[in-house]
Amino acid sequence: MVLGELSRLSRPCSPLDQERALKAGWLKRQRSIMKNWQLRWFVLRPEALYFYKDQDEAKAQGCIPVQGSQVNELPANQDEPARHLFEILPGGGGEKERMGVSHESFMLMATSQSDMEDWVRTIRRAVWSQLGGGVFGQHLEETMLCESQCDPRLLVPVLVEQCVSFIRGCGLKEEGLFRAPGQTNHVRELQDAFDRGEKPKLDESTTDVHTVASLLKLYIRELPEPVIPFSKYTQFLSCAQLLTKDRGLGIVELSKQVKALPQVNYNLLKYICRFLDEVQSRSNENKMSVQNLATVFGPNILRPRVEDPVTMMEGSSQVQHLMTVMISEHSRLYQWEEKEADQEPRAPTKTHPSKQSKALPSWRTSFKAGAGSAAPRGKMDSPLFLKDTALSPKDPQKHSLGDSLHSPANSPLAHRAIGQSHRLSAYDNVAPSSLSLAADTSTIWTSYEISLTDPEDEDQGSKRGPVISSDTVESHTPPDPGADDSRSGEENTDPKEEGKGSGTQEDLAKLLTKLKQELKMQRISYESCICKLEESCSRYQCQVGSLEEELDQEKKKLHMLEIRLRNSERAHQDAESRNVHLQKEMEDFFKTLGDLTTGAARTS
């Protein structure tokens, strides 16, 4: 029933991994042969409980496997009430043989009852976490990763959801909600049940509101990293300082910081703030105002990495003010998300590119209709007609391409009469002179399908439907009595004008190619600038993180030096008092000796 020298077990468990340590502290272990107790530094990690000769020791003397183990508290002995003992029973026989354990149990002693209970609870949590439990003290990301496998729709842990649903159903009117403590034993039972991977049912007949509220607070408090991560502590405190100066600007900056949180942290923070806003809306009944709720939840949701008293006292008022704003203004902080959610259902569904109805560029709609009404419009099934339907009829300056094709002003002579002032540029960053074309062009602009997207998309042109030329458009127009004369006039046009029209088409194609190249170069330059800015930002963030760690180390050193200075001053004062006391005793001694000598002389 003792902990012996685990020589075979200590070999694979020797590397020190402080990042994964679940708990560390001093415990006494009982040796196997001598039956005496030795003080050792124990470090609990997910796979085993390691013990070292000293706190700074790099190599472990041995370890106790926790997989499949059982932890039991031993009753206190009346003869030795100061001993707080607990034992660890290893797993099955196969596990013992694999790990090289030959003991039936391992006996450990803590310094106090609370320390023993904490060790037992933490070791059990490590055992249960390997079996799918261990909710308390587990990282939020790990909890959500495990629970989302069962239900991908979960946004917050099941424990939080159950507690909030229970309080929302029967506890919003409870006076002193989240302030009055719950039943300690019942809270511990529920905690152990959740840690074992169970999902206990919260019922009014078996539990009360204050117990469930205490369970929720305990879960948030025992998160290894708070809901707002340690790396965001300084940024959120800066938002709190900005809120005191300019509330509107502070809320905008706070919404940016909230948006930058990891997704699981963001979901939990939003869920808690929305629920606490419901609680404070019943403050007339439950006596819990938003300030009281901020005082209760603020230090657990936002806390520094190093929880020294000075830092916590300095930031307590700012944390409370910040939490008050996050609760009362949660609708404004998450307003951007609700807008995006409203816009998502209205997003157009994906259809075949040849059937999409999309607006044309401004230069495609810059032609004005000449005479009053066009000829009766026939049925047009071409993709060009589908594109024209997306234009807004409310704009008197823009007409659909179908109207311009069917109007009398669409003849080659009418095109020659159109001035440059009616042609709008689709490129804001190109000078208007570069897009100016000859006014006597005899070719319709819409004989080209011009795409302003990436050049890579040109390979998909075959999927967007056939290119419509002016001849195709003429084949879709209904017969017009006066159109024969115009057609005969067009057939008898001068061949020079036809050559000029083909030349204009070539110039237009070259111009569009040039503009596409310019846009591509601009996009490449902008993307390179963005990449450089992101790299510099990440580099600066790493530097800030390293500087913060160095600052924390310096603060720890300063704290230790202050303690040593106080100890030395106290020792100096004790030495001075001892010197004064010794001086007084010596004076009394010599005085007594002198009196004895004087009395002896008188007697003689």
Give the least confident one: 252-256, 330-334, 459-463, 588-592.
Answer: 459-463
What's 251's domain CATH number? 1.10.555.10
Burial class (CB in 10 A: 0-12, 13-18, 19+), 542: exposed
- Establish if 261 belongs to a structural domain: yes
Least confident of 313-322, 325-334, 443-452, 588-597: 443-452
Q: What is the mean pLDDT of residues 511-533?
A: 91
Q: Please identify, among 339, 368, 398, the residue that sits at the C-terminal boundary of a domain.
A: 339
Average pLDDT over residues 573-592: 92
At residue 594, what is the residue type? Answer: G
Q: Which residue has the higher pLDDT, 219 or 442?
A: 219
The parent domain of residue 181 ranges over: 141-339
Domains in the chain, number: 4
Same domain, residue pair 187 and 287:
yes
Residues 383 and 467 in one domain: yes
Structural domain includes residue 75: yes
Residues 70 and 205 in one domain: no
| Choice between 446 and 556, residue whose per-residue pLDDT is larger | 556
Q: Residues 6 or more apart from 476 whose CB is under 8 A from it?
A: 378, 380, 382, 385
Residue 134, Ramachandran bin (φ over 0: left; ψ between -120 and 50: alpha; else beta): left
Q: Is 413 a domain residue?
A: yes
Position 383 in a domain: yes
User: Is 541 domain-assigned?
Assistant: no
Average pLDDT across the chain, whole number: 72
Last residue of some domain: 129, 163, 183? 129
Q: Verify that 335 and 402 share a domain, yes or no.
A: no
Q: What is the CATH number of the domain that holds 37?
A: 2.30.29.30
* CB neighbour list of residue 46: distance below 8 Å, 6 or more residues apart: 20, 22, 66, 126, 129, 130
Do residues 216 and 324 both lie within one domain? yes
- Amino acid in the structure at residue 52: Y
- Three-state secondary structure string covering 319-370: HHHHHHHHHHCHHHHCHHHHHHHHHHHHCCCCCCHHHCCCCCCHHHCCCCCC
Proportion of the chain above pLDDT 70, given as a percent: 64
Q: Residue 397 domain-assigned?
A: yes
For residues 115 and 146, membership in a common domain is answered with no
pLDDT given at position 562: 92
**150 and 125 co-located in one domain:** no
Q: Looking at 278, 310, 339, which one is the last position of a domain?
A: 339
pLDDT in tens, 73-96: 887 776 666 778 888 887 654 444
Please compute the mean of the pLDDT values over residues 114-129 and round it to a whole number: 79
AA identity, residue 528: S
Give every CB contact of residue 157 below 8 A, 6+ residues apart in sequence.
135, 140, 143, 144, 147, 219, 268
Are residues 263 and 291 located together in one domain of the fold? yes
